[in-house]
Amino acid sequence: MSRKSFRQAINEALRQEMRRDERVILMGEDIAGGKGGTSGVEEAWGGVLGVTKGLYTEFGPDRVLDTPITEASYIGAAAGAAATGLRPVAELMFVDFVGCCLDQIMNQAAKFRYMFGGKARTPLVIRAMYGAGFSAAAQHSQALYPIFTHIPGLKVVIPSSAYEAKGLLIEAIRDDDPVIFLENKLMYDEEEEVPDEPYTIPFGEANLTREGDDVTIVAFGRMVALANQAADLLQKQGISCTVIDPRTTSPLDTGTILDCVAETGRLVIVDESSPRCNMATDIAALVAEEGFDTLKAPIRRVTPPHTPVPFSTALEKHYMPDADKIAAAVRSVMAYAAKQEA
Amino acid sequence: MQISHDILLRSYRAMRTIRDFEERLHVEFATGEIPGFVHLYCGEEASAVGICAHLSETDTIASTHRGHGHCIAKGVAVEGMMAEIYGKKSGVCEGKGGSMHIADLSLGMLGANGIVGGGPPLICGAALSHKLLKDGGVAVAFYGDGASNEGTTLESLNLASVWSLPAVFVLEDNGYGEATASSYACAGSQRARAEGFGMPYVECDGTDFFAVHQAAAEAIGHARSGKGPVMMHVHLARWYGHFEGEAASYRRPEDVVRLRAEKDCLKNFREQVASTSMIEAAELDAIDKAVRAEIDQAVSKAKADPMPEAADLLENVYVSY
């Protein structure tokens, strides 16, 4: 056990799985970086933010494949390789680039197993970074996990910390279905204790990071830490919260969400993706349908507005959910209940 | 190149099977009993068969929406295919795929594909598997003149060259992408495209089995020897419309009459083997008879077989969930 960053945890998961199973290969744009350059340094970058640093040097050009900037061909190649005996981990860099290769994910990899009558296995992982807060503007900041969650045949993972990232990525690589693994780009330098040895965290099993009596908060990815901050703040004001990190949006641990809402009677969902048809909306529908009798107040969703992600830091700050917005939402559902009781 | 008697007979049988399969589907589709879309490969048989004659189960192919011929040439069971097209549980995909998604990965058949240009990227991946797993296999992408303009195809030509993959890009150019002629839709030349991506280019008359077989020997031999990808341009014509039920009003009816009279790969095959005494006509007649019976049996069985159950709807979305 030692302190590791989110970046180091992901790197370690890749390295350990590549050592364990030589069918695990990596491909992506500049995951080594430097091929053909005049310096002769073949691993100049190790990924655009250094997540795959050192893997080319250890595993060589057959297993760490730099690609041209052609997402459709290499994401499709990863799907084809997965269906024919390899276990590729393809890096899409920014998840926003899925617009260039969605067909290969949505119509090919995700559907092989069903379309082919259960005879295909596609052990593919697609890693990509997501999220606002970097002033990367509208084409490099989106949180597009609802798009993938919507597609039957895909599994979707959103780790909320370095510990979670390592265990969930190893699980993803060992999984026989196509998995979308989304990393919040603001989290790469966040550190915590992470075991040195490999371990897995199962999909579809939510983690409770706080347990309380008054309000259930469901949050995804980086929003989990913000929900925890809000819960700590609210605790001082006498409001106790349960915070659920579902870890995966597909499969989704609906049982834990419904159980917690049954105990607290109030629900706030924090989702960094655009509000229409996102996870907050999906979970609100779930609880409205299956947990209606347990609710003491309307469900509240904390999301960005229905706009592209803005560039200016001033605008981006307003765009993103934060601990204050989450706390305000929690207080509002508590106030509703108090009003009803009065 | 000398082709053995056995391979000649097997190839003729495969071509005849494709022809009868498709001609029968044309008839059966018109009765309304077959659901969905069906795209027939009639007239193009020598391409799939002449190429797949050089492949084994270790090799991989990816096909198109017009995929029945590639499936049969790669050895997919005819009964299972017919049942699939009828949407039956006994189909090779248990009725979940249909005509446009017939696949059998155990035979290296990575699927027909409902997306134009869907196959070439997948074939880059299959070729990468062959290369890294060192099984000696090659991967072959069949794609049409319509797909030749898709970004996925052009990206794949580039990627296969960059990675020096054992991949063969077989452009089946039947002159029309849906209703639009390739003379309108394809800029420049396909040869120049291949050369632009640094790969060899071979072309052949796709209605002549022997021409296809020889060109494929060269193309597949190149890829298999580790020299990188190659493009094979097969000139073809389809006898029916883009899909069954469309009137093909974009071309003159006499074009098809001429194709059937002058560009029939089965007639061509018979004439060529007769002139060299390689095979007795009686051997080919026997094959024709056997194939007719096989297709009759496949259609009867497909019609009689049970539909999938309601519970099957939820099966096989994932390996585990």
Query: Is B316–A65 a contact, with Cβ atoms under 8 angstroms apart?
Result: no
* Residue B262: φ, ψ to 5°: -110, -20
Show Cβ contacts of residue B55 under 8 Å, excluding neighbours closer than 6 positions. B61, B74, B108, B138, B140, B220
The residue in chain A having the minimum alpha-carbon distance to the alpha carbon of residue B96 is A115
Taking only the tens place, the pLDDT of each residue in A256-297 is: 999 999 999 999 999 999 999 999 999 999 999 999 999 999
CB contacts, 8 Å: A104 with chain B: 118, 121-122, 152
pLDDT band of residue A337 (cuts 50, 70, 90) is low
Q: Which domain holds residue B119?
A: 5-174+185-237+270-302
The residue in chain B having the minimum alpha-carbon distance to the alpha carbon of residue A108 is B118
Fold matches, A2-194 and A207-341? yes
B111–A contact, CB cutoff 8 A:
yes
Does the pLDDT value for residue A211 go beyond 70? Answer: yes
Q: Note the residue count of chain B.
A: 321
pLDDT band of residue B275 (cuts 50, 70, 90) is confident
With b for 16 or more beta-carbon neighbours within 10 A and e for fewer, the A179-202 pattern comes to: bbbbbbbbbbebeeebeeebebbe
- Per the CB < 8 A criterion, the answer to whether B106 and A119 are in contact is yes
Show Cβ contacts of residue B84 under 8 Å, excluding neighbours closer than 6 positions. B91, B92, B93, B95, B97, B98, B99, B102
Does the pLDDT value for residue A342 go beyond 80? Answer: no
Q: Which spans in chain A are helix H?
A: 6-20, 55-59, 71-82, 102-103, 112-115, 145-149, 162-174, 223-236, 254-264, 279-290, 313-319, 323-341
Cα A252 from chain centroid (whole Å) = 13
Q: Which amino acid is at B302?
A: A
Taking only the tens place, the pLDDT of each residue in B15-56 is: 999 999 999 999 999 999 999 999 999 999 999 999 999 999
Does the pLDDT value for residue B281 go beyond 80? Answer: yes
Position B263 in a domain: no
Position B253 in a domain: no
Listed as own residue / partner, the contacts of B23-32 with beta carbons closer than 8 Å and 24 or more positions apart are: B24/B295, B24/B299, B25/B68, B25/B85, B25/B244, B26/B240, B26/B244, B28/B299, B29/B244, B29/B245, B30/B244
Position B246 in a domain: no
Bridge partners of A180, per DSSP, are A126, A156
- Per the CB < 8 A criterion, the answer to whether B193 and B148 are in contact is yes
Report DSSP state, residue B148: G
- pLDDT value at position A159? 98
- Per the CB < 8 A criterion, the answer to whether A284 and A269 are in contact is yes
Q: How far apart are CA A149 and CA A134, in angstroms?
A: 24
Rg of chain A on CA atoms, in Å: 20
Listed as own residue / partner, the contacts of A316-320 with beta carbons closer than 8 Å and 24 or more positions apart are: A316/A132, A316/A133, A316/A135, A319/A132, A320/A132, A320/A133, A320/A272
- Per the CB < 8 A criterion, the answer to whether A14 and A52 are in contact is yes
Taking only the tens place, the pLDDT of each residue in A98-127 is: 999 999 999 999 999 999 999 999 999 999
B308–A contact, CB cutoff 8 A:
no
The CA distance from B203 to the nearest CA of chain A, in Å, is: 24
The residue in chain A having the minimum alpha-carbon distance to the alpha carbon of residue B103 is A116
Position B166 in a domain: yes
pLDDT band of residue A50 (cuts 50, 70, 90) is very high
Query: Is B94–A118 a contact, with Cβ atoms under 8 angstroms apart?
Result: yes
Does the pLDDT value for residue B97 go beyond 70? Answer: yes
Bridge partners of A302, per DSSP, are A270
**pLDDT mean over B10-16:** 98
Position B96 in a domain: yes
pLDDT band of residue A1 (cuts 50, 70, 90) is confident
For A78-131, give the secondary structure using H, E and C. Answer: HHHHHCCCCEEEEEEEEHHHHHHCHHHHHHHHCCHHHHCCCCCCCCCEEEEEEC
The CA distance from A119 to the nearest CA of chain B, in Å, is: 7
Give this complex's ipTM. Answer: 0.94
Q: How far apart are CA B59 and CA B76, in angstroms?
A: 14
- Average pLDDT for chain A: 97
Query: Is B129–A80 a contact, with Cβ atoms under 8 angstroms apart?
Result: yes
Cα A213 from chain centroid (whole Å) = 27
CATH code for the domain of B159: 3.40.50.970
Sketch the domain layout of chain A as residue ranges: 2-194, 207-341
Query: Is B95–A74 a contact, with Cβ atoms under 8 angstroms apart?
Result: no
- pLDDT value at position A338? 66
**pLDDT mean over B242-250:** 92
With b for 16 or more beta-carbon neighbours within 10 A and e for fewer, the B73-109 pattern comes to: bbbbebbbbbbbbbbbbbbbbbbbbbbbbbbbbebbb
**Helix B151-162 crosses helix A71-82 at what angle (to 10 degrees)?**
70
- Per the CB < 8 A criterion, the answer to whether A321 and A304 are in contact is yes
- Average pLDDT for chain B: 97
Taking only the tens place, the pLDDT of each residue in B133-188 is: 999 999 999 999 999 999 999 999 999 999 999 999 999 999 999 999 999 999 99
Decide: pTM greater than 0.90: yes
Query: Is B319–A83 a contact, with Cβ atoms under 8 angstroms apart?
Result: no
Does the pLDDT value for residue B1 go beyond 70? Answer: no
- Per the CB < 8 A criterion, the answer to whether B53 and B40 are in contact is no
Position B242 in a domain: no
Q: How far apart are CA A323 and CA A3, in angstroms?
A: 25
- Closest by CA position to B245, among listed B21, B26, B42, B83: B26
- Per the CB < 8 A criterion, the answer to whether A272 and A223 are in contact is yes
Q: How many Cβ contacts (< 8 angstroms) between chains A and B?
A: 158
SS3 category, B167: strand
| Domain A2-194 in this protein, CATH class | alpha beta
- pLDDT value at position B20? 98
Q: How far apart are CA A64 and CA A32, in angstroms?
A: 7
- Per the CB < 8 A criterion, the answer to whether B102 and B92 are in contact is yes
- Structure token digits, residue B304: 């009689």
Q: How far apart are CA A220 and CA B168, in angstroms?
A: 44
Quick one: CA torsion of A206, A212, A213, A218, rounded to 10 degrees? -40
Q: Which of A23, A84, A153 sits opposite B125 (nearest CB)?
A: A84
Q: Is the dihedral of CA B292, B294, B300, B303 positive or negative?
A: negative
* Residue A106: φ, ψ to 5°: -75, -45
Beta-carbon count within 10 A of A274 CB? 19
- Per the CB < 8 A criterion, the answer to whether A57 and A43 are in contact is yes
Taking only the tens place, the pLDDT of each residue in A174-194 is: 999 999 999 999 999 999 999
Report DSSP state, residue B222: H
Q: Which amino acid is at B213?
A: H
Position B320 in a domain: no
Position B35 in a domain: yes
Looking at the structure of chain B, the number of domains it has is 1
- Per the CB < 8 A criterion, the answer to whether A165 and A204 are in contact is no
Tell me the fold of A207-341: Rossmann fold (3.40.50)
